[in-house]
Amino acid sequence: MKRYPLLVQLISYVFVIVIALITTLGLLYYQTSSRNIRQLIERDTRQSIRQSSQFIDAYIKPLKETTSVLAKNSEIQDFASQIHQENDKQVLQLMKMVLATNSDLQAAVLVTKDGRTVSTNPQLIMKTSSDMMAEPWYKAAIDRQAMPILTPARQLSLSSKKEWVVSVTQEVVDAAGHNLGVLRLDIAYPTIKASLDQLQLGRQGFAFIVNDKHEFVYHPKKSVYSSSKEMAAMKPYLAIQNGYTKDKTSFVYQKLIPNSQWTLVGVASLDQLHRVQRQIFWSFLGTGLLACLICGFATVLVLRRWIRPIQQLQQVILAIQKGDRQLRAQETGSPELTDLAQQFNALLDQIDSLMVAVADKEKAIGQYRLQALASQINPHFLYNTLDSIIWMAEFNDSKRVVEVTKSLAKYFRLALNQGNEYIRLADELDHVSQYLFIQKQRYGDKLSYEVQGLDVYADFVIPKLILQPLVENAIYHGIKEVDRKGMIKVTVSDTAQHLVLTVWDNGKGIEDSSLTNSQSLLTRGGVGLKNVDQRLKLHYGEGYHMTIHSQSDQFTEIQLSLPKMHELMADDTQENE
């Protein structure tokens, strides 16, 4: 699982919170605005349809009154009753005068019961018969009992002009109420159309009029009158009295026009709502993006300042892991981070104190081990050397007694080294030379040795008593175990980084071929050799290493690789002196 930095995580959390907040507010505002706009559309639609209904009623009322007045006119009744059949010109003149008073009146037609007609349109072609009571349109007019009737929209197919009109038809009766004929006025659409076109029903909204049989009286799209498909498309609107269509794209409101069989249907499109919804969406989207950018920028600035102490603390920890233990965390930032840095620094100080205490203890342990080594070596070695001197004295070999005694004295003087733990390389080589000289007095021709140093490293300072245990190991575990003449070589060499001290012997070697590392030889070599290895590791750390080469019954070679610290150690020695 991929781990992301704290800054990235916090910024992500802030972005999620900001987006969630803006989304929530946007949805609430969206819902509230949509509801308010819907209510506004509903209110405006109802109000507009009511006003238009009243206007149409006021518009139709005088037309119906005009029709009634004409139907009761004496000249028209006389002509229809066949009393004065020759006055058709006076009737025509009367109807033309009525048409002249209203530009919406397209034509006036009088049809008598016996099929005679008088029309203001000379091109009128009307189906008549001697018994007009059998004609449907004629019967529909007289069924209203001398009351005006509004007919649905129709095209003036009875004339050469193909215009859509509605008609006001009224029965003409005599004083006794007997049918004499039917009078019809054809009304054009301009006034009704102008009134309904002014309705604020949205870009896709419209209004239309139907009668009580759901026949279209008016529709802004005239093709509806003749297209059954388009008529069928209007039926869903007729099924809704006051509400929304199934797809929620339109609001429908119906209002019965007073004093008529007509119903005004208003279909308000919700494009205003959709437009506002789009505006809200894009506004909140833009606001959200801007808010995210501002919040993101501000968050980065704030969080960087807040996280910087944590990052600095992390860098200090990494540096300390690499060995730079002098660094300390900056005690800055929030109170919590300041307390954390203070506690961390206090912990580092405590660790340093413990490490100093441990180092002092290990140094003391090293000194105790060195003293223990000297106490282990000196009595045993001194006993054997004194035994050899006594033996020489018994044989009156005074010269050798003097030489061995001087060598022994010099050996102990170099070993003590005025109480210093460190010694010059030349003195360490001299010390091991005195040891080998004394041992040769005991072993005679069985032991030969060579000690070879490098003048350039004569003053190189090293811990004392590191070669004598290796030489002792070579004698007791190597030379002493074979019957041939033994040879021990102590040499000094160098590499680019190390000074190499080598102790070689042609003794027994290591019998087990698997024992080829320093640990195996340390196990065989005893306490003295182990102490040397531990002391050098404690002093030099990882810069020191021991290398062992051996072949069974052939040789053993031990190499001590010491880091070149000549100048530093020499200065330390001078200060101690």
Does residue 446 contact residue 488 with C-beta atoms inside 8 Å? no
Query: HEC profile for 82-106?
Result: CCCHHHHHHHHHHHHHHHHCCCCEE
Please indicate, yes or no, if residue 111 is contained in any of the structural domains. yes
User: What is the predicted pLDDT for the residue at 133?
Assistant: 59
In angstroms, the Cα distances linking 497 to 30, 37, 102, 542, 548 are 78, 88, 124, 13, 19
Query: Do 445 and 513 have their domain in common?
Result: yes
Which runs of consecutive H residues, i.e. helices, occur in 135-270? Answer: 136-142, 190-197, 228-238
Distance in angstroms (rounded) separating the CA atoms of residues 24 and 198: 39
Question: Considering only 3-7, 36-40, 227-231, 482-486, which range has the smallest mean pLDDT?
Answer: 3-7
> Does residue 373 sit in the same domain as residue 402?
yes
Tokens of 447: 């032991």
CA dist., res. 450 & res. 433, Å (int): 8
Same domain? 410 vs 520: yes
- For residue range 209-230, list pLDDT tens digits in order: 888 888 888 888 877 777 788 8
Mean pLDDT of the chain: 79
Q: Choose between 437 and 124: higher pLDDT.
A: 437
Of 173, 190, 207, which residue is a domain's last? 190
- Please report which confidence band the pLDDT of residue 491 belongs to, taking 50, 70 and 90 as the band edges: very high
Inter-residue contact 88 to 95 (CB < 8 Å): no
CA geometry: angle at 281 spanning 275 and 285, to 5°?
145
331 and 444 inside one domain: no
Same domain assignment for residues 385 and 405? yes
Q: Are residues 156 and 78 in the same domain?
A: yes
Asked if residue 132 has pLDDT above 90, the reply is no
User: In the chain, how many H helices and how many E strands?
Assistant: 14, 18
**64: nearest Cα among 120, 172, 147, 144:** 147
Q: Verify that 366 and 428 share a domain, yes or no.
A: yes
In a domain, 391, yes or no: yes
> Which pLDDT belongs to residue 182?
86
Give whole-number Cα distances, 77 to 73, 74, 101, 174, in Å: 6, 5, 22, 7
Q: What range defines the domain where residue 345 resides?
A: 321-353
* pLDDT value of position 128: 54
Inter-residue contact 510 to 524 (CB < 8 Å): yes
Give the total residue count for the chain: 577
With respect to residue 455, please indicate whether it lies within any of the assigned structural domains: yes
- Residue 478: give its domain's CATH number: 3.30.565.10
* Among 353, 373, 398, residue at a domain's last position: 353
Query: Over the Cα atoms of the chain, what is R_g?
Result: 64
The CATH number of whichever domain residue 93 belongs to comes to 3.30.450.20
In 72-182, which residue ranges form alpha helices assigned H by DSSP? 74-80, 88-100, 136-142
| Residue 367 resides in a domain | yes
Cα(376)–Cα(378) distance, integer angstroms: 6
Across 528-547, average pLDDT? 83
Residue 420 lies in a domain: yes
> pLDDT tens digits for 85-103?
677 888 888 888 888 888 7
Say whether both 347 and 428 belong to one domain.
no
Percent of the chain with pLDDT over 90: 11
Residues 457 and 497 in one domain: yes
Distance CA 361, CA 287 (A): 69
Cα–Cα distance between 313 and 343 in angstroms, integer? 12
Q: What is the pLDDT of residues 514-535, one digit of tens each?
A: 444 555 555 555 566 777 888 8
Which pLDDT score is estimated for 452?
Answer: 94
Of 131, 126, 111, nearest in space to 156 by CA = 126
Stronger pLDDT, 397 or 489, i.e. the higher one: 489
560 falls in which pLDDT band (50, 70, 90)? very high
What pLDDT is stored for residue 448 in this prediction? 95
Query: Is 106 in the same domain as 173?
Result: yes
In this structure, is residue 35 part of a structural domain?
A: no
Do 476 and 333 share a structural domain?
no
User: Is the pLDDT assigned to residue 316 strictly greater than 60?
Assistant: yes
- For the segment 170-204, what is each residue's pLDDT rounded down to a tens digit? 888 888 788 888 888 888 777 777 877 777 787 77
> Which residue among 150, 172, 190 closes a domain?
190
501 falls in which pLDDT band (50, 70, 90)? very high
The number of distinct structural domains making up the chain is: 3
Please name every residue paired with 423 in a beta bridge, in sequence order, or none if there are none: 462
Q: Do 79 and 112 touch, CB atoms closer than 8 A?
A: yes
* CA gap 531, 91 in Å, rounded: 150
In a domain, 266, yes or no: no
Q: What distance separates the 2 farthest-apart alpha carbons in the chain?
A: 198
Is residue 330 located within the same domain as residue 364?
no
**Residue 235, in any domain of the structure:** no
